[in-house]
């Protein structure tokens, strides 16, 4: 008696709760140093509106032994190749990108790359925790060029790194290469002017996030030729973890609007 070979897990994408009949497929891109864990808690609250698919980048979680990308262009090249099966949702299903912080930049530039290659672009983009990338990054510390001691000393300012990791230099040392590479992806990026994306864009942010401003989030409206929506939530840079129910409710509303507008 023969058996079908076991399906190997996709190293690039995690689907916490498969929902092939959901109106929207939501592809999520992580922030610096993070992996699928940063989004898993949204899978249940977003059901049945959206099927959550979380991008898993090299250098973290199950892929921690792989070197992380330190520049955006090669990362985008790999994403366009390996995410191809996830960029074609089922019949009648919409595709949306959601990226937080570094993930917002990656999602935006991936959408631009797909358009440049004549491939399917998402039906909507949700940019979270990042001022619009065409704005100058003035007055910010360039993290990826700091030595290890200075780099580690500034991490608490950004939040997101568990306190138990910060308190263990031997453990933190394992995370530093990926964190440094992720900061380099953002800090070495230079925006190239281009036509606005032909899709709705929503900018989400925490009201107490030191890394964003209301004006910086509003400037995402300049990068789209479609409708724009801006939302502010209680919390700091990682408001997603602080207010999951509130974020999921807002995101569900916006995704349903997307599904209705494009059906």
As beta bridge partners, residue 25 has 51, 95
Conformational region of residue 173, where left means phi above 0, alpha means psi within -120 to 50, and beta covers everything else:
alpha
Judge whether 31 and 260 are in contact, CB under 8 Å.
Answer: no
The alpha carbon dihedral of 69, 11, 247, 200 has a sign of positive
Q: Which residues are catalytic?
A: 101
d(CA 182, CA 57): 10
């Amino acid at each position: 008696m023969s058996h079908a070979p076991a399906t190997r897990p996709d190293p690039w994408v995690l689907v916490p709760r498969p929902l092939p009949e959901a109106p929207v497929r939501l592809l999520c891109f992580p922030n610096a140093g993070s992996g699928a864990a940063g989004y898993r808690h949204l899978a249940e609250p977003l059901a049945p509106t959206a099927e959550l698919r979380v991008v898993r980048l090299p250098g973290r979680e199950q892929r921690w032994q792989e070197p992380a990308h330190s520049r955006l262009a090669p990362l985008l090249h790999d994403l366009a190749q390996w995410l191809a099966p996830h960029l074609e949702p089922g019949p009648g299903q919409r595709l949306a990108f959601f990226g937080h912080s570094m993930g917002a930049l990656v999602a935006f530039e991936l959408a631009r790359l797909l358009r440049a290659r004549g491939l399917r672009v998402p039906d909507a983009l949700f940019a979270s925790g990042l001022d619009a990338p065409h704005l100058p990054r003035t007055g910010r510390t360039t993290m990826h060029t700091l030595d290890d001691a200075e780099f580690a000393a500034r991490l608490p300012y950004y939040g997101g790194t568990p306190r138990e990791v910060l308190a263990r230099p031997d453990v933190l040392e394992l995370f530093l290469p990926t964190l440094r590479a992720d900061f380099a992806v953002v800090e070495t990026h230079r925006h190239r002017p281009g036509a606005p994306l032909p899709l709705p864009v929503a900018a989400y942010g925490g009201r107490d996030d030191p890394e964003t401003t209301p004006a910086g989030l509003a400037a995402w409206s300049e990068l789209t030729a479609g409708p724009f929506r801006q939302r502010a939530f209680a919390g700091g840079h990682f408001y997603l973890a602080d207010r999951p129910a509130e974020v999921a409710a807002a995101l569900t509303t916006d995704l349903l609007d997307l599904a209705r507008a494009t059906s």
